[in-house]
Amino acid sequence: MDAHDAQPEGEQAPEETPRASLADLFVTFARIGLFTFGGGYAMLPMLQTEVVERRRWVGESELLNYYAVGQCTPGIISVNAATFVGYRLRGVVGGVVATLGVVFPSVVLITLIALFLERVVDHPIVQHAFAGVRVAVAALMLQAIVKLWKTGVRDVFGVFVFALGFAVAAFTELSPVIVVLSAIALGLIANHSGLVRHLKQSRDDERVRDQEKRP
116 and 12 fall within a common domain: yes
Q: How many domains does the chain have?
A: 2
Domain co-membership, 132 together with 214: no
Range of the domain at 12: 8-152
pLDDT for residue 119: 72
Q: Are residues 101 and 180 in the same domain?
A: no
- Whether residues 61 and 115 share a domain: the answer is yes
* pLDDT of amino acid 200: 62
Other Cβ atoms less than 10 A from the Cβ of 192: the count is: 9
pLDDT at residue 47, rounded to an integer? 83
* Dist. CA 128–CA 150, nearest whole Å: 34
Q: Is residue 1 part of a domain?
A: no
- DSSP assignments along 21-52, one per residue: -HHHHHHHHHHHHHT--SSTGGGHHHHIIIII
Q: Please indicate, yes or no, if residue 97 is contained in any of the structural domains.
A: yes
Is the distance from CB of 102 to CB of 82 less than 8 angstroms?
Answer: yes
> In this structure, are 193 and 146 located in the same domain?
no
Query: What pLDDT score does 94 carry?
Result: 92
pTM score:
0.57
- The residues of the chain scoring below 50 in pLDDT are 1-15
